[in-house]
Structure formats: structure tokens, C-alpha cells
Structure 1
């Protein structure tokens, strides 16, 4: 066989194998891209964001004791923000408010910073408390339905864990999101009593605590858990009806208490804007003593009105 024929055969095999290699490389690349897309769908948003520096700092801050405490308060308030996000928001609010206090009330350093810090700290806590209360009330309205669903599951021969999983799938938000979290924790191997204890640690609602404690006590002491949940559903519905009636009857008193508490602050700001330097005598020794007495009397009056009007069934 001549050398020219061998050369042609080698060239043909080289081109054929090279073409086949390029085709196989493209096929493998397409398969890998498809696999990456499927893996990305399985990744949570938190896992995707963890690649960033900011999120790594957020995770470290969340692991601190203050971060865990703040995260529990944000969760109870139904705020989908990390503790670091919330801390940055408060810092921006503190800076902006200190500038407004300096411009509107004429307070210089460090009084404007102290006043802005007090307002930001107190206001943020009260706002989170209000959101937490409203969120708990929304969950409370669904608790009778939750009790009946759990009771039906138990009577059908299911365990409490299986009942929680069914409630998580069938129930609408916001209580549905709460039970979805519980279901995920149970699937990860967390004990039932630990999951229930975490729930009533995050929420201040007495109705939620009553539900969790009923399940814990019935499991430990024995008894008909399905019947207990049916009775609890009727009790919660009656409590909700009575609380609505009481809230309607005491609405005027609560708004009067809030108005009386805010009126002096509003008057001081207005007078200081009209008469420049009106607020400066407050920062003398007699002025601070007078402010302390006024704040004490206002606090006592506000708490007394709130105590009388804040009636729960």
C-alpha cells in the first residue's frame, strides 16, 4: 500500500475522530447545563445569596445571641428581613431622624442623637410589637380550623406529626406558613415537643400557647386528644367573639389614651417651630426636673387608661 493512501486514511480518521469529539463535547456541555439548571431550581434563595459577602456577614450576625433574639422578633412580626437588614434600616432611620430633630427643634449635638436614638429604639419596638400582635390575631382566627383538622387526622388514625404535615399543605397563610415551618423541622428530625416549644416561644399569643400545651400535655398524660382539640376549637371561637365585642366597646378609650400621650410632644414641636429657642429652657436643671415629673405623670395616666381599656377574654 502506497504512502499516499496511508496518509489519506490517517487524515480521514483524524477529521472523523475530531468531529466526533467536538460533537460529544457539545453534547456533554448541554447535559451539564441542564443539570446545573435543575440544581439551581433546588437551591433556596438563601443558598444562592450565601455566595455574596453581605450575606455571609448577615449569617455571622444571625449566629450571635442578639441576632437570634432579633430574628425571633422579626419572625413573630412576619417581617421577611434578616437581623442585619433590620439593624441597617434602624441606623438609617436614626441618622435621618437626628437631622430632622436638629432642623425642626434646634437641638445640637449630642442631644439630637440621643433624642433620635430614643425615638427610633422605642418606636421600632412598639411597631414590631404591634405587627406581632396583629400577626398573632390573624393566626388566632385560623386556630379553630387548625384544631378541627388535627382532630380529624387523629381520629383517622394518623399521628400528630402527620396531622401537622396535612395542616401545612391544606391551610392558607398566615397559619399555613407557620405549620409549614413546623413540618420542615419535624422532617429534619426535631422532636415534636421541641418544635411546639419553639412556636410558643416565638409568639406571644395565648391561644397559640394553649394549642401547643394541649398537645404536649395530652401526649404526655394520655387521653383523647381529638376530643380535647374539638373542645379547644369551640373555646377559641367563643374567645374570639368576646374579644371583638370588648375591642369595639373600648376603642374610644384606647384612642383617647394615645391622643393624650402624643399631644404634648406635638405642641412642643409646633411652638418651637414658631418661637425659635422655645425648647432650650428644658435642658436646664429645673427644666429637666419638670420634664421628668411630666413624663412620670403622663406615663402613669397612660398606663392606667390602658389597663382599664385593655380587656381580654
Structure 2
């Protein structure tokens, strides 16, 4: 009897193992079949009505200005996504000010609008020309690639094609566009001028002038590009040193204005009606002086730490 039970138990375990083995094999084959079917018959992903509204807004000409600002700030967001973040931020601040900090409802409605307007201005103010900065940081590497291509006997167009494949965004995307335009027969000057509309920095202007002059007059292009690459890399190192030396002061410029505002909100949460006197009579004068002092302290600290090379 015990032998029969042991045999049945062994067969049951063996059947279970075989079932698991074939089931896992079936799942792996099913995944492969699905991938093959998707490659042969790609399906369009379903979108919600909010996404469709966002796509319609992004396609309108009215969103082009915001798209250009986001690109110049090097923010990988669509205009509809950025506006969605602002709406979500407003709702969050409204709930936080009214429920947590116990502020009056009309103040809780207006204050988030003011804060979001200030945050929107500061975001694009501090990230202004961030696209140019990241582009210019890659100019040294681009000069090295073009110099090596010229040293190997390749033309400038071929060197630009190599740079388009090797360099990452944002400079890589621009050089891919330049390379495609050159292949379509567009002159080099016209191709570079189209990029110059988005990057008007003096470093890129120097880069363009060097390539165009060398193409017209001839000369040792490889040596010129190597010298220019050394200059760009030295400027990049100097910028990093300055950022490291002024990083503490830049963080202080955010902490100093934000700390008294945070303490004021905390005290209002602890003591009911603590900030009510600020919205009547003499309190309004104190509130205006307080806001002006905070703004001035912020911009003064930023001005001191803004060292241009």
C-alpha cells in the first residue's frame, strides 16, 4: 500500500513539473508570437480624450510660442503637458493652503496663481538659453570629430555626417538636420544659418565663421579645429569651476526668500488668524515691504553670483 502511494505521489510531482515546464515554454512562445504579430500588423495605441485634446492644442499655432520657450529652456515637454503640470500644481497648492495652513479661501485661491506666475517666470529666467549652453558644451567634441575627419582626408560634409551620428542631443539633432539639408543640396551657409536662428551664442558664431572661411580660403582645417576645440574645452572647465565656487550662494538665494514665507505659514497653522492683520490697514504696508525685501534679496544674491566668462 505504501509503495502504491509513493508511486502515485512521484507521478503527481512529475506531472506537476512537466506541466510547469510546458507552461513556461508556451508563455515564451506566446510572447514571441505577439511580437511578430505586432511587427507585421502594428496597432495604434488608444488615447484618452484628455490626450486627444492635448494633441489638438499642440498642433495649433497659438502653442508655438510656448513650444519655442520650452525648447530654449531645454525642457522635454509638450505645451499641453506643461499646462497640465501648472493646473495640477494650482490644485495642489489650493488644497495645501486651505486645508493644511488654514488660510482664508479667497487667499488660498489667489496665492497659488501668484506663486505659479512667479515660478513660471523664474523657470524660464534661469533656464533661459539653457539649450544654447548644452549645445555649446558639445562644440569641443564636435571640433575634435571634424578635425579628425579632415585629417583623414574627408570633406567637411562627411565630417558633419559623422558628427551627426556620434553626438547626442541637442547638438546631435541639429547636426542631423544640417547633414540632411546638405544631402538635399542646401548650401552649407544656409544650413548653418537655419541653426543660428535657434543658437545665437558667440561660440557657435565663431564655429560657423571658422568653417565657412576655411572652406572658402583653404588652409589647415584640422589644426584650426583642434585649436578651437582646446579653447571650447578650457572655457567649459572654467565655467564648471565658477559654478562649483558659486553653488552654495545660489542655493542660499532660494533658501533666504523661502524660509520666512514657510515660517509665516507654519505660524498661521499653529495660531489661528496669525496672518490676518497683514491683509488690513497697516499690515498691507508691512506685507508689501516684506515681499519687496524678499524679491530684492533674491535678485541681489543671484546678481552677485552671476559671473560671466
Q: What is the match of residue 57 of structure 2?
A: 61
In structure 1, how many angstroms separate the alpha carbons of the residues matched to 2:280 and 2:187? Answer: 59
Are 1:246 and 1:312, in contact at CA under 8 Å, matched by a contact in 2? no
1:230 counterpart residue number: 226
2:28 maps to what in 1?
Answer: none
Taking structure 2 as the reference length, what is the TM-score of the superposition? Answer: 0.69
1:158 corresponds, among 155, 158, 171, to 155
Q: Pick from 67, 72, 83 the counterpart of residue 71 of structure 1.
A: 67
The answer on 1:243 being equivalent to 2:239 is yes
Hey, what's the Cα distance between the residues in 2 that align with 1:134 and 1:201? 15
Contact 2:74–2:131 at 8 Å: present in 1 too?
yes
- Kindly indicate whether residue 145 of structure 2 is the aligned counterpart of residue 149 of structure 1: yes
* CA displacement 1:111-153 (0-9 Å, x = unmatched): 2222112222332453456567776655444321111212333
Deviation at 1:305, TM superposition (A): 2.0
Q: Structure 1 CA distance, aligned partners of 2:156 and 2:132?
A: 26
Distance in 2 (CA, whole Å) between partners of 1:281 and 1:186 is: 67
Rate the CA distance shift 1:54–1:229 in 2: closer, same or farther, 3 A. Answer: farther
What secondary structure, in the 3-state scheme, does the structure 1 residue paired with 2:138 have? helix
| Structure 1 unaligned residues grouped into runs of 5+ | 1-33, 42-47
- Paired residue for 2:99, among 87, 99, 103? 103
For residues 216-243 of structure 1, what are the alpha-carbon distances to aligned partners after superposition, in whole Å with 9 as ceiling and x for unaligned? 5752794458354333212111111212
> What is the distance in 2 between the residues matched to 1:51 and 1:187?
37
SS at match of 2:256: helix
Aligned to 2:271: 275
Q: C-alpha separation between the residues in 1 aligned to 2:253 and 2:58?
A: 37
Gaps of 5+ in 2: 1-35
How many residues in Structure 1 have an aligned counterpart in Structure 2?
A: 270
Instruction: Show the counterpart of 1:122.
Output: 118
**Other structure's SS at 2:273 match:** coil
| Equivalent residue, structure 1, for 2:207 | 214
